[in-house]
Amino acid sequence: MTRIAINGSKGKMGQTLIEAVHSNSKAEFGAGLDKGDKLADQLDNFDVLIDFSRPEASLDAISICKGSGKAMVIGTTGFSDNELEFIQQASKEIPIVFAPNMSVGVNLTLKILETSAKVIGPDSSVEIIEAHHRFKVDSPSGTALKMGEVVANALGRNLADCAMPCREGIEEPRDLNTIGFSSIRGGDVIGEHTVAFFMDGERVEITHKASSRMIYANGAVRAANWLFDKPSGLYSMHDVLDL
């Protein structure tokens, strides 16, 4: 039985995660943490910490878990390059599953995108459109960026060099080597992502739509159970799902 703690337990995602832990026969709810709570006081109550908070809170939690040998599942997005490097270094001491999206469906979609990009090849215009609720603060979403990374890698590109997050004014004709991003914010949209491959005479669109936060929570608990007896390292949901 994996004892799981939830960071950010009073938020919407935190409450959904607690529900997912209680409904999983292989997991046990060990502790819930929010503002004002001290993770260091709960170290005896959990084996794996699930963190869907903000970058600054996640980094503090990583430092504490690293010092106490506790595993982590991190679903937080919006990290800087330096912060990503900190996670990478921490994973040399503790096991970490780090993924911008814990949904089984999204991670299957990433695999499909990799195959599609390789088959379609470089002679297409790639656009990624994502929509989320009005309270989401980072854009493009972590999932959209991961989709762009998968497509770019499959095409032999570096996303940092080819990402085009916005367009404005009069521009030159579209560069086929770029990957465009569009972000929509409004209402209570849980999460929708579409990757479109535009070719002469046809278009392929691959879409994932989430209608419940529970898909992310169930995936995170599945990752925590999988991580329980793993050695130090940085793992993805593809590792968890054996993709």
9 annotated to a ligand binding site:
yes
Q: Do residues 43 and 243 touch, judged by C-beta distance below 8 A?
A: no
Q: Do 190 and 110 share a domain, yes or no?
A: yes
Q: Do 91 and 129 share a domain, yes or no?
A: no
Q: Do 84 and 162 share a domain, yes or no?
A: no
Bridge partners for 163 per DSSP:
179
Q: Do 217 and 198 share a domain, yes or no?
A: no
- Residue 38's domain spans which residues? 2-98+213-240
Q: State how many domains the chain has.
A: 2
Q: What per-residue confidence (pLDDT) applies to 216?
A: 93
Q: Do 177 and 219 share a domain, yes or no?
A: no
For the question of residue 136 being annotated catalytic, the response is: yes
Q: Do 50 and 78 share a domain, yes or no?
A: yes
CB atoms inside a 10 Å sphere around CB 86: 18
Q: Do 118 and 196 share a domain, yes or no?
A: yes
Residue 161 host element (H or E) = helix 159-162
Task: Report how far Cα 102 is from the mean position of its chain's Cα atoms.
Answer: 6
Q: Do 108 and 39 share a domain, yes or no?
A: no
Q: How confident is the model at residue 183 (pLDDT cuts 50, 70, 90)?
A: very high
Q: Do 127 and 197 share a domain, yes or no?
A: yes
Q: Please write the tens of the pLDDT for every residue from 81-116.
A: 999 999 999 999 999 999 988 999 999 999 999 999
Is residue 167's pLDDT more than 90?
no
102 annotated to a ligand binding site:
yes
Q: What per-residue confidence (pLDDT) applies to 169?
A: 86
77 annotated to a ligand binding site:
yes
Q: Do 37 and 113 share a domain, yes or no?
A: no
Average pLDDT over residues 119-125: 95
Check 66, 70, 132, 208 and give the catalytic one: 132
> What are the angstrom distances between the C-alpha of 131 and each of 205, 208, 234?
15, 11, 28
For the question of residue 22 being annotated catalytic, the response is: no
191 annotated to a ligand binding site:
no
Q: Please write the tens of the pLDDT for every residue from 21-61.
A: 999 999 999 999 988 899 999 999 999 999 998 999 999 99
111 annotated to a ligand binding site:
no
Q: What per-residue confidence (pLDDT) applies to 101?
A: 87
13 annotated to a ligand binding site:
yes
CATH code (residue 111): 3.30.360.10
Check 26, 66, 111, 136 and give the catalytic one: 136
CATH code (residue 52): 3.40.50.720
Q: Please write the tens of the pLDDT for every residue from 189-243.
A: 999 999 999 999 999 999 999 999 999 999 999 999 999 999 999 999 999 999 8
Is residue 78's pLDDT more than 90?
no
